[in-house]
Amino acid sequence: MIEEPENCPGVESSNAGFSNACQGCPNQKICSDPNSKKEDPGKALVAERLQDVKKKLLILSGKGGVGKSSVVMLLSRFLGKTYPNQNFGVLDIDICGPSQPRILGVENENVHQSGSGWSPVSVEDNICLMSIGFLLGSTDDAIIWRGPKKNGMIRQFLSEVDWGNLDLLLLDTPPGTSDEHLSVVSYLKDDKASLKALIVTTPQEVSLLDVRKEISFCKKQNIPVLGVVENMSSFVCGHCGNSSEIFPAKTGGAVAMCKEMDVKFLGSLPIDPAIAKACDCGEDITNLSGPSIEALKKICNQIIQDL
């Protein structure tokens, strides 16, 4: 596995190819060539590897703890079951907090390497997953990396994984608009026709404040936003049937924010203890029933239509 030098100066730096960190890097000759355009050679590798991936969907959230990874799991599971003749992939680029192996129920699987690259782990017949979680010696291991090493890892996930023919690749990102987001966008944004974003939030204003920043990030990067999903919108009691707002929307919630920011509101997902249990146990949620599953169906159908 080839890794970026830990203190890589970056391809656009005047010191690219000449710093001590560049010694031994396979791209040193390209970066030090004065006639080179100094464009990251990884972009061409990524474009070639993903040429059979029809659509890419970034799942974003400005704030942590809003259930973004759970939404990725719900979408992939439901889409895989609803459209059995299509192929779906999940790429977990939350380098420091990979959770997809656990919630998709493949935590103990291993990634295999072949002549065509890494083989993503099969979740179902038409769903595959790649995550740094598969490459750790223990689930307790911490990833303590600076930006360049994260960038190198994301490039490898995009260019060295044998994704094959996919109808949709869902990318689970960490909160915020930092290293991982800039890296993945730099490799994918040239393919504007296939890259879109889905944003997840909760109703309270502290979450919506950060989501506004995420929407601004997408607009600055010219990434179309499919819409916003409001997670944990309410809780429906399984005994009495009454609905309670655990996170009250004092400013109108995601609906009001979407009108303000001119983006589409895709729907709300209630809190469902059965789904929370399924996430912890890595179980398939497609056999469940209830308000959350019905809401999920409507959201997924809108996403497929918009894609």
pLDDT at res. 3: 43
| Cβ-based burial of 81 (10 A; exposed 0-12, middle 13-18, buried ≥19) | middle
Judging by DSSP bridges, how do beta strands 112-114 and 243-244 pair with one another? unpaired
| Cβ-based burial of 283 (10 A; exposed 0-12, middle 13-18, buried ≥19) | middle
Burial profile 125-143: b = 16 or more Cβ within 10 angstroms, e = fewer: ebbbbbbbbbeeeeeeeeb
pLDDT at res. 11: 61
pLDDT at res. 2: 39
Give the type of residue at 276: A
The structure tokens listed for 297 are 């169906």
| Inter-residue contact 297 to 81 (CB < 8 Å) | no
Q: What are phi and psi of 60, to 5 degrees?
A: -120, 155
The structure tokens listed for 18 are 């000449």
Give the type of residue at 112: H
What separation, in Å, do the N-terminal and C-terminal C-alpha atoms of the chain show?
34
In 3D space, the residue among 261, 262, 288 whose CA is nearest the CA of residue 275 turns out to be 288
pLDDT at res. 12: 58
Domains of the chain and CATH, by start: 48-306 (3.40.50.300)
Own/partner long-range contacts of 251-258 (Cβ < 8 Å, ≥24 apart): 251/205, 251/208, 253/203, 253/208, 254/201, 254/203, 254/208, 254/211, 254/228, 254/229, 254/230, 255/230, 257/201, 257/208, 257/211, 257/212, 257/228, 258/227, 258/228
In tens digits, the chain (307 residues) has pLDDT values of 334 445 666 665 667 777 777 776 766 776 777 665 556 677 888 999 999 999 999 999 988 889 899 999 999 999 999 999 999 999 999 999 899 999 999 998 989 888 888 999 999 999 999 999 998 888 888 888 887 888 889 999 999 999 999 999 999 999 988 888 988 998 987 766 789 999 999 998 889 999 999 999 999 889 999 999 999 988 877 777 677 888 877 888 899 999 999 999 999 999 888 888 888 888 888 888 888 888 888 998 898 888 7
Alpha-carbon distance of 149 to 139, in angstroms, equals 20
Judging by DSSP bridges, how do beta strands 117-119 and 112-114 pair with one another? antiparallel
In 3D space, the residue among 120, 109, 212, 210 whose CA is nearest the CA of residue 160 turns out to be 120
CA angle, corner 170, sides to 165 and 175, nearest 5? Answer: 155
The structure tokens listed for 13 are 């730096």
| Cβ-based burial of 192 (10 A; exposed 0-12, middle 13-18, buried ≥19) | exposed
